[in-house]
Structure 1
Amino acid sequence: MEVAAQKVVEHATPAVMEFVGQTESGHEVEIRARVSGFIVKRNYVEGASVKAGQVLFEIDHEPFQVQVNAARAELAQQEARHARARANLARVQPLAERNALSAKDLDDAVANEHEAAAAVDRAKANLAARQLDLSYTYVRSPVDGMASAASQMEGTYVSAQNSQLTTVSSMDRMRVNFSVSENQLLKLQSARDSGHLAVPHDGQYEVEITLSDGTIYPERGRITFADPTYSQQTGTFLVRAEMPNPKRVLRPGQFVRVSVIGASFPAAIAVPQRAVMRGPKGDFVYVVMSAPRGADGQAAFKAEQRPVTLSDTVGDDWLISEGLHAGDNVVVDGALKLSAGAPVAVSRQLPSQAPAAGTH
Structure 2
Amino acid sequence: MVVKTSKPYQQNSNVQVLDTKVATISLSSMLVVITLMTCFMLAGCDKKQDAVKAKGQMPPMPVGVITLQPTSVPISAEAVAQTEGAKEVEIRPRVGGILLKKLFEEGSAIKAGQAMFLIDPVPFQIALSSAKAQLAQQKARVEQTQREAQRLQGLLATQSISQREADNAASDNALARAGLAQYEASVREDELNLSYTTVISPLSGVAGRFEFSEGALVNANTSLLTKVSQISPIWVRFSLSDSELTQVGGYLSLANVKEVRLILPNGEEYAKKGQLNFAASGIDPTLGTQQLRATFENADKRLLPGQFVRVRVITGQKDGVFVVPQTAVMTNDQGKFVYVANSKNEATIKPIVAGNWVGKDWVVLSGLEAGDKVIVDNIIKLRPGAAVSPHPAGEPSAPVSPAPNQSAK
Q: Same fold (TM over 0.5)?
A: yes
Q: Tell me how far apart the structure 2 counterparts of residues 84 and 49 of structure 1 sit (CA, whole Å).
A: 56
The match for 1:311 is: 355
Q: TM-score, normalising length from structure 1?
A: 0.74
- State the Cα deviation string for residues 212-241 of structure 1 (Å, max 9, x = none): 233332222211112234444433232111
Change (3 A) 1:42 1:122: same
CA drift at 1:157: 0.8
Change (3 A) 1:286 1:174: closer
Q: Is the 8 A contact 1:13 1:268 kept in 2?
A: yes
Q: Tell me how far apart the structure 2 counterparts of residues 57 and 275 of structure 1 sit (CA, whole Å).
A: 60
Alignment of 1:146-225 (within 5 A): 146-189=206-249, 202-225=255-278
Q: Tell me how far apart the structure 1 counterparts of residues 91 and 328 of structure 2 sit (CA, whole Å).
A: 60
Picking from 92, 97, 100, the partner of 2:157 is 97
More helix by share: 2
The match for 2:4 is: none
- The yes-or-no answer on 1:27 pairing with 2:87 is yes
Q: Tell me how far apart the structure 2 counterparts of residues 7 and 215 of structure 1 sit (CA, whole Å).
A: 27
Secondary structure in 2 aligned to 1:337?
A: coil
Change (3 A) 1:273 1:25: closer
Cα-Cα RMSD: 4.1
Change (3 A) 1:46 1:253: same
Change (3 A) 1:305 1:329: farther
Larger Rg: 2
- The yes-or-no answer on 1:74 pairing with 2:134 is yes
Q: Is the 8 A contact 1:8 1:328 kept in 2?
A: yes
- The yes-or-no answer on 1:258 pairing with 2:307 is no
Higher-RCO chain (CA-CA 8 Å, sequence separation at least 6): 1
**Aligned-partner residue type, residue 149 of structure 1:** R
- The yes-or-no answer on 1:57 pairing with 2:117 is yes
Q: Is the 8 A contact 1:200 1:263 kept in 2?
A: no
Larger displacement relative to structure 2 (209-218 or 162-171): 209-218
The match for 1:137 is: 197
Picking from 316, 321, 337, the partner of 2:384 is 337
Alignment of 1:231-270 (within 5 A): 231-268=284-321
Q: Is the 8 A contact 2:253 2:279 kept in 1?
A: no
Change (3 A) 1:331 1:44: closer
**Aligned-partner residue type, residue 306 of structure 2:** G
More strand by share: 1
Q: Which runs of 5+ in 2 are unaligned?
A: 1-64, 341-347, 393-409
Q: Is the 8 A contact 2:263 2:311 kept in 1?
A: yes
CA drift at 1:273: 7.2
Secondary structure in 1 aligned to 2:95?
A: coil
Q: Is the 8 A contact 1:177 1:239 kept in 2?
A: yes
The match for 2:396 is: none
Secondary structure in 2 aligned to 1:258?
A: strand
Q: TM-score, normalising length from structure 2?
A: 0.66
Change (3 A) 1:6 1:77: closer
The match for 2:51 is: none
Larger displacement relative to structure 2 (215-224 or 150-159): 215-224
Secondary structure in 1 aligned to 2:174?
A: helix
Q: Tell me how far apart the structure 2 counterparts of residues 163 and 200 of structure 1 sit (CA, whole Å).
A: 39
- State the Cα deviation string for residues 153-192 of structure 1 (Å, max 9, x = none): 11111111110111112233211112212331244336x9
Q: Is the 8 A contact 2:276 2:293 kept in 1?
A: yes
**Aligned-partner residue type, residue 225 of structure 1:** F
**Aligned-partner residue type, residue 114 of structure 2:** Q
CA drift at 1:283: 5.7
Q: Tell me how far apart the structure 2 counterparts of residues 307 and 105 of structure 1 sit (CA, whole Å).
A: 110
Larger displacement relative to structure 2 (76-85 or 143-152): 143-152
Q: Is the 8 A contact 1:200 1:262 kept in 2?
A: no
Alignment of 1:288-303 (within 5 A): none
Q: Tell me how far apart the structure 2 counterparts of residues 12 and 200 of structure 1 sit (CA, whole Å).
A: 24
- State the Cα deviation string for residues 25-63 of structure 1 (Å, max 9, x = none): 122211001111111111112222222222211111111
